[in-house]
Amino acid sequence: MAKAGVPCSWNMIAPKKRSSYAVASAGNPPSLGITNGKKVNGIHVRETPSPYTSNTIAGEMAIHCNVAEPHTYLLGRFVEDRLVYRQTFSIRSYEIGPDKTATMETLMNLLQETALNHVTSSGLAGNGFGATREMSLRKLIWVVTRIHVQVQRYSCWGDVVEIDTWVDATGKNGMRRDWIIRDYNTQEIITRATSTWVIMNRETRKLSKIPDEVKEELVPFYINRLSISAEHNDVEKIDRLNDETAGRIRSGLAPRWSDMDANQHVNNVKYIGWILESVPMHVLEHYNMTSMTLEYRRECRQSNLLESLTSSSEDPNSSSSNRKADMEYTHLLRMQADKAEIVRARTEWKSKLKHK
């Protein structure tokens, strides 16, 4: 029952040739012999000498604290026999929005950070953002094709959140990465997220199978667990908006130098800000985004001017009968010049009065 997989780059580049990847359904949990951190799921895992690694957990502090340095607590650690990676964050003053709570962009940034530290701490990291060694040797990178986030409650400045992340196989050549965000003090689950990743050759930009050597790296870390149950997930197709179907179009959006990431691409988290630019102001002010699904289609560089399209769904609960939103929007971010798609999105919103 051991499966393959671990990391993810936060590269957001749609493959030239697309496949569809079903979200893995919950199956039998792994029931393998897991030992002291050197064997996971019965397979030997190289211990990492990375500075990111901290096996210290709260309950062990009394044992370790003579040698622990404060900065080790800034990083994450493995829990549940190295199958789940956990990192704690304090929401900072500049991570909150006009309503004084963490923004969706902040949540996405923290999910990214936890995912990348998971890879680094696993000892598998190659030379790329989240690529494993065997991937780097083959010029392969992870690309995200879909991400879905559900927010039960947004945190405030100073709140401490605890993020768990783990990975599993999905389809033949995909990896699923899930996250759960808890309020550190109450342990209440306040956000759930799931994402689908495929492997691409960074030079040819073509999709690749997961090579056996990469599978061997990944297998020990897979865990069959869903952050969002199948019935609550958003797996529906997102319609492609156009000039006719979009109620609102905002043109002339220009990526800034400061929107670029370490791959010289527009960081995919930045797309959220542009998507919101075509959402009515009264919605931004009086509603909380409770669900967001992004379907990535194409990479974006700094020279591209963008357009943001938004359309209100006729039946707000059509695709989300389990989530009961007050309103639902479909979005498209596209190139202004040739109208090529970059990201499709669906968002759901609840009145701030009801969603606290």
Q: Which of 1, 230, 235, 254 binds a second copy (CB under 8 A)?
A: 254
Residue among 295, 261, 264, 292 at smallest CA distance from 276: 292
**Residue 29 binding a second copy, by CB under 8 A:** no
Cα separation, 318 vs 314, in Å, equals 8
Nearer to a second copy, 153 or 250 (CB): 250
Determine, following the binding rule CB under 8 A, whether residue 129 of this chain makes contact with a second copy: yes
What CA–CA distance (Å, rounded) separates 178 from 211? 22
Q: Does 301 bind a second copy (CB under 8 A)?
A: no
Our finding on whether 276 is near a second copy (CB under 8 A) is yes
Integer Cα distance of 188 and 10 in angstroms: 27
CA atoms within 13 A on the CB side of 283: 19
Contact segment (CB under 8 A) with a second copy among 51-59, 209-217, 218-226, 337-345 equals: 51-59
- Minimum CB separation of residue 356 from a second copy in Å reads 17
Catalytic residue IDs: 263, 265, 300
Q: Is 113 in the site for a second copy (CB under 8 A)?
A: yes
Alpha helices in the chain (DSSP H): 61-64, 104-122, 133-137, 212-218, 270-276, 281-286
Please report whether residue 65 would count as binding a second copy according to CB under 8 A: yes
Smallest distance, a second copy to C-beta of residue 235, A: 27
What span, in angstroms and rounded, lies between the C-alpha atoms of 126 and 227?
27
Shortest spacing between CB 145 and a second copy, in angstroms: 20
- Judged by CB under 8 A, which stretch of 23-31, 202-210, 277-285, 333-341 contacts a second copy? 277-285
Closest CA to 159 of 120, 191, 112, 116: 191
The reply on whether position 158 binds a second copy by CB under 8 A is yes
Alpha carbon distance 281, 322 (integer Å): 26
Which residue do the tokens 């609550």 mark? 232
Q: Residue 260 gets which letter from DSSP?
A: B
Which of the 8 DSSP states describes residue 316? T
**Using the rule CB under 8 A, is 305 a contact of a second copy?**
no
Q: Whole-angstrom Cα distance, residue 157 to residue 92?
A: 5
Which of 70, 186, 187, 212: binder of a second copy (CB under 8 A)?
70
Binding footprint of a second copy on the chain (CB under 8 A): 10, 51-52, 58, 61-62, 65-66, 68-71, 73-75, 88-90, 92-94, 96-100, 103, 105, 109, 112-113, 116, 120, 129, 157-158, 160, 184, 252-254, 256-258, 260-262, 264, 267, 269, 272-274, 276-277, 281, 284
